[in-house]
Amino acid sequence: MGINTVLDVQNIEKHYGKPPNELSVLNKLSLKVKRGEKIAIMGASGSGKTTLLNLLGGLDDPDYGSISVCEKNWSKLSISERATWRNQHVGFVYQFHHLLEEFSALENVALPLLIAGQSMISAKETSGKFLTSIGLEGRLGHRPSQLSGGERQRVAVIRGLINKPSVLLLDEPTGNLDSDSAKKTLDLILQLSKTLSMAIVLVTHDTFVAKNMDVTYRLMDGSLEEK
């Protein structure tokens, strides 16, 4: 696969149901993503974009084919090995922030670091620095309900990349935001991906967001076509 290849997808298929009512979502789909490369995936609703992201992150398995992240095939890892590898190499950001409501912004961001084995003091210090760097130093102790939509999404972005993953998977990260918040969130993603040499695979309906990526694919009939 090569050390510069972060994500290697080979001829994957994903089906739901059984014949004659079987639904084929992904069909012999292949994709390679290099370190630092930014990929946008567009497509109609129901075309399988979120399904693909879940497979890339090892949250689900393809029916056929293989997916490797940093030279490890998800299907060859045990549940615990998969969780450890995911925590080290894959970050997730969703359209809806999925922050834990009972935790502060600082605690939400620190959680992946705690799972990775850092001490509470170290995790909070690192998280505070990241949040301060994007202008949220006055919001560290605020819970999600006390933050604006744009602030919540920026906290979610920082949480997704706090472990400095090899690849960040984003599912419509600006889809629930007004135009100003969407631009700030996109700028943050682009800035930090460059700083951390992190690959990005981003699902979006927004052509402006897609134009800021290196390559844009359209998911049609279960396969990716470069636009």
Residue-level pLDDT, tens digit, the chain, 227 residues: 446 899 999 999 988 877 777 788 888 899 999 998 999 999 887 788 889 999 999 988 999 999 999 989 999 999 989 988 988 899 888 766 678 888 999 999 998 888 888 899 999 998 998 888 877 888 888 988 898 877 888 888 888 888 888 999 998 877 777 787 788 888 888 888 888 888 999 998 888 889 999 999 999 888 888 87
Distance CA 158, CA 165 (A): 11
Distance CA 80, CA 60 (A): 14
Phi-psi region of 62 (alpha: psi -120 to 50; beta: other; left: phi over 0): beta
**What is residue 23's predicted lDDT score, i.e. its pLDDT?**
80
Q: Residue length, the chain?
A: 227
Sorted by where each starts, the structural domains of the chain and their CATH numbers stand as: 37-64+72-226 (3.40.50.300)
pTM: 0.84
Listed in sequence order, the residues at least 6 apart from 4 whose beta carbon sits closer than 8 Å to its beta carbon are: 34, 35
**What is residue 2's predicted lDDT score, i.e. its pLDDT?**
46
